[in-house]
Structures are given as structure tokens and as C-alpha cells.
Amino acid sequence: MSTGLDRRAELREFLRSRRARLRPEDVGLSASGRRRVPGLRREELARLAGVSFAYYTRLEQSHGDTMSVEVLDAVARALRLSGDEHAHLFRLARPKLHGNRHAVPRRQRLRPGVQRLLDALDGVPAYVCGRRLDVLGWNRLATTVFGDWSRLPPRERNLSRLVFLSPAARDRFNDLEATMLDIVSVLRVEPGTHPEGTELAALIGELTERSNDFRRLWAGHHARRRGHGVQRLRHPVLGELTLSFEAMGLHGDPDQTLVTYHAEPGSTSRKAMSLLTGRLLTTTGAQSSTDLPNNRSHRATVPRPERP
């Protein structure tokens, strides 16, 4: 049985995929000669990075441990990597610079103070994610927007499993393709952080086996973390919602991220969220959207959603 993701294979495929997305003309080179594969050749990339062809080939053959920081920086610049991709390259090539990769990760726990913070965020759907995008805690408004996670077994409280394997959860997202790409991109970053994580490897193996969408997007080797953006959702009672999100790392819990959502002032989504918040405050024990009335008279009081 595999003990985790193959870091060397991840590094090799990541570099090849980043080379493939660059055309010679993108970096000031002439596209001479017939090309069997798209993108830059190894020798072209090596020349751009200022290293020998043999030296760069060693890196692409997964000998990153022998490379200096300066060489990796030069390769990252030549490949025009983003900040997240640059960090991902270092985590894959030089894991010893990022702590003990053989250490067993601590059990994920949500501090009581963080749960109290979630509960205090009136009018703001919010949750906390841990490693592998496990959902560790949430507030009542988040369950009305995304579904009631308390009704799921702990193992199923995972954003990647929900987005790729749950039809009900997938139906909540108007921009499902963009959401799936965000999920895959975060999971791509995670192997470099905990490359020996058997739980992460098992999750990726399960998603690869069960989801065509996951297999397709995983092959793209996207690596990024979006700290903010816009999420377009479908609520079973309120209809379409357009919410902005902010993702913030918890300083005392480095593997945990607080994600909050809010609607723009004056928007129909803000009015809809205000209505939803008011109903939660007046309905004892409301835990999910299925607890809210779903009849024609209630729908008539909901503001008309924005057009995409």
C-alpha cells in the first residue's frame, strides 16, 4: 500500500505542465523546428533560467534536493510561475526547507473560541476548513446556504468530496466548474505541505476513481489558493445568491482557514440574506434550509435574484 503521494512524480509532472503552457514566442524565442509536444523544450527553459541543459534535466527528473534556492528561483522566473506556484515548486523540490515531512500531522480540532466566533457572526455564513479541506466547524447561517453538514458523518464533511461526489451539494453552485478548479488547486498545494500524508493520498485516490471531473482537472496541475473572490450559489428557497468570500488563516492553528461570505450592500442578495438571517433568529432550532418554509407564499416575499 502506498504511504502517500509520490513527491518526485508530482515535481516532474508539475514542471512539465508549466513548460507546456508557455509558447516560445511568449518568452521572446523563435518557434523554429517541428515540435512533437506543445510548449517550451527543456533546453529552451534551461537557457532562459541560465542553467545547463543537464542541470535542468536533473531537476525535472526529480532531483530537486540537490538544487540551490537560486536555481529554483531562476526556474520559477523562467516558467513565469505565480506566487502560489513558486511556493509549490519549493515545497516539492526542497521539502526539508518546510519542516519535517515525515512528522505525523496533529489531529484536527476546532478550538472552542473559534466556534464561539463563528456563532457570533450574525448575518455572515462562515465555516472553518482544516487539512484536505475537511470542514471542522460552521455557523447556522452556513448550513442554510451550503446544506446541513451536521447531518453528515464526519468523514463526509469535506469540501472536495461534497463538490465532486454529492449531487445535492454540486447543485448549490452556479459556477461549478470554477469551484471544482479551486478545490483541485488547493489539493495540489497540500501534497507539498504534507507529502507523506496517507489520508490525503487516499482522498485523492477516491476522487480520481469516482469522479471524471476530478480526473480531468487534476491532470492540469493547477496550484493556487484564492484568498478572496465571488461565489454564485443556488439556494433552494431564496434562489440565486451572489456572495463575496474572504479566506483567512488562523494564526494559532496554521492548518485551519476561516472562510466568510457576505453580499454587497444594496444588492438583492443582501436583502435575501437579511431575510434568511431574520428567519433564523426567530425560528428556534432552525438548522438547515429544509427547516424553512418552501411554499409559494414564502417565495413571494423573497427579493428577485440578480441575473448572472
Q: What is the pLDDT of residue 231?
A: 95
Q: What is the pLDDT of residue 33?
A: 63
Residue 39's H or E segment, with its range, is none
With a threshold of 0.75, does the pTM exceed it?
Answer: no
Q: What is the pLDDT of residue 124?
A: 94
- 166: cell is 454529492
Nearest to residue 155, comparing CAs of 134, 126, 137?
Answer: 134
Q: What is the pLDDT of residue 197?
A: 64
Nearest to residue 189, comparing CAs of 126, 129, 259?
Answer: 129
Q: What is the pLDDT of residue 301?
A: 35
The dihedrals phi and psi of 202, each to the nearest 5 degrees, come to -65, -40
> Which residue is it, cell 476561516?
258
> Which residue is it, cell 454529492?
166
> How, if at all, do strands 126-129 and 253-262 pair?
antiparallel
Q: What is the pLDDT of residue 156?
A: 94
> Which residue is it, cell 505525523?
104
Q: What is the pLDDT of residue 256?
A: 93
Query: Taking each helix axis from N to C terminus, what angle separates 69-78 and 42-49, rounded to the nearest 10 degrees?
Result: 120
215-to-3, 17, 94, 118 alpha-carbon distances in Å: 21, 15, 27, 34
CB 183 within 8 A of CB 160: yes
Measured CA to CA, the distance from residue 120 to residue 105 in angstroms comes to 30
Q: What is the pLDDT of residue 83?
A: 83
Compute the residue count for the chain: 308
Q: What is the pLDDT of residue 191?
A: 65
Tally of CB atoms within 10 A around 293 = 12
- 67: cell is 538544487
Residue 308's identity, in one-letter code, is P
Helix, strand and coil content of the chain, in percent to the nearest 5, comes to 50, 15, 35
Angle ∠(151,237,269) on CA atoms, nearest 5: 110
CA 116 to chain centre: 25
113-to-107, 117, 253, 286, 290 alpha-carbon distances in Å: 17, 6, 12, 22, 28
Q: What is the pLDDT of residue 223?
A: 87
Q: What is the pLDDT of residue 114?
A: 96
Q: Which residues contact 82 (CB under 8 A, 6 or more apart)?
A: 224
User: Mean pLDDT of successive 10-residue segments in the chain (308 residues)?
Assistant: 65 88 78 72 88 87 77 89 86 67 66 95 93 94 93 94 95 95 90 65 92 95 89 90 95 90 94 86 49 34 39
CB 122 within 8 A of CB 148: no
